[in-house]
Amino acid sequence: MSFSLKLDSVLKELPDLEIRGSTDKSIITGISSLSNAKEGDLTFLANPKYKNEVKDTEASYVLLPMDHAESSRKQNQLYIKTQHPSRALARICRIIYAELFSAQRVGIDTTASVHDSAIIGDNVSIGPFCYVGKGARIGKNTLIESHCHIGEMASIGSDCRLYPNVKLLSLCEVGNGVHLNSGVVIGSEGYGFEQVGSVHEKIPHLGKVVIEDDVEIGANSCIDRARLEETRIGEGTKIDNLVQIGHNVKIGRGCLIVAQVGIAGSVEFEDGVVVGGQAGFAGHLKVGKGAKIAGQTGITKNVEAGAFLKGNPAIPVQLAHRISVLQRKLPDLFKRIAQDKDKK
């Protein structure tokens, strides 16, 4: 990654800094870890275990926690102290990202196919080979990269980013500030059939999907449309790659759903639920506020608010760990019991 960012413009976005050392440089040209950084780079100490690497880094700018005692021994090296180096770093990354992001704006690419009736906001960018259907709406500042499909009557808010090859199918609604990664499918047919004899008759799905503001959805994840009404993803929820969300599911606000999780139809999450990778949920369950589900867990019953479950069947994580330890003692236990029997 190479870029050129004025040091001043970065520092003014960060609150309450203490600057130590001096430099005749004024440009940041890269970001890297302590050990890989070179002249011109900004680096950071986010995890105390790398503290010893600070003194040897070649970076020109070093983000440090306030309580970092040492001073820079190098010429042309700044120590920049802040309460939260990792939070400051995230902010700097957002500045860089916004620059790269704005560079990618192309307006409406000549190869895109946009229906006359679609309503396109100011400063929208629509990439090569995109299709925007009848009656679709796209809010201001939204960036849509190549090969996206915006179906009939679908809508997208402002300040969204759709990476290449997102499929937002007809009638589905996306809020503001939403990021959809490549290959995301929103509004696929739900998995619902009516068994008539040995035949599984298709139940067409006439509902939609609603994605609220500030949601992020990872690459190749799928969200099925509701049978009749809506599947809904709550504000600020972050979904990783290759996640499956079934028809009629309701996900609350601020949930974290890690890669390859599967959530069957009509499940409801309250706010702040956190789900580890590859966990699965059977249909029609309720998961209470702030519940945590460990990776690979299989949930087949309602989950209470604040619970932390693991395993299949899912049990409290403490009990699961205790049982795991004891299972490893089973060979010994059975041996001992066999011996006791012999003695008798």
Q: Which is nearer to a second copy, 20 or 238 (CB)?
A: 238
Give Cβ neighbours of residue 214 (< 8 Å, ≥ 6 apart).
175, 176, 177, 178, 235, 236
From CA 226, how far away is CA 219, in angstroms rounded?
Answer: 21
Pair 170, 152: CB distance under 8 Å: yes
Going from the C-alpha of 128 to that of each of 109, 125, 165, the distances in angstroms are 5, 10, 10
- Shortest spacing between CB 71 and a second copy, in angstroms: 25
Instruction: Residue 59: name the closest of 80, 86, 82, 39 by CA.
Output: 39
Pair 207, 231: CB distance under 8 Å: yes
Token pair 């619970």: residue: 307
Instruction: Residue 184: name the closest of 234, 221, 235 by CA.
Output: 221
Pair 287, 268: CB distance under 8 Å: yes
From CA 101, how far away is CA 86, in angstroms rounded?
Answer: 22
- Shortest spacing between CB 66 and a second copy, in angstroms: 17
Helix ranges, 115-185 (H): none
- Shortest spacing between CB 219 and a second copy, in angstroms: 4
The verdict on whether 115 is a catalytic residue reads no
Q: Which is nearer to a second copy, 205 or 232 (CB)?
A: 205
Q: Which of 147, 149, 179, 247 is catalytic?
A: 247
Q: Which is nearer to a second copy, 102 or 324 (CB)?
A: 324
- Shortest spacing between CB 80 and a second copy, in angstroms: 17
- Shortest spacing between CB 24 and a second copy, in angstroms: 25
Residues marked as catalytic: 247
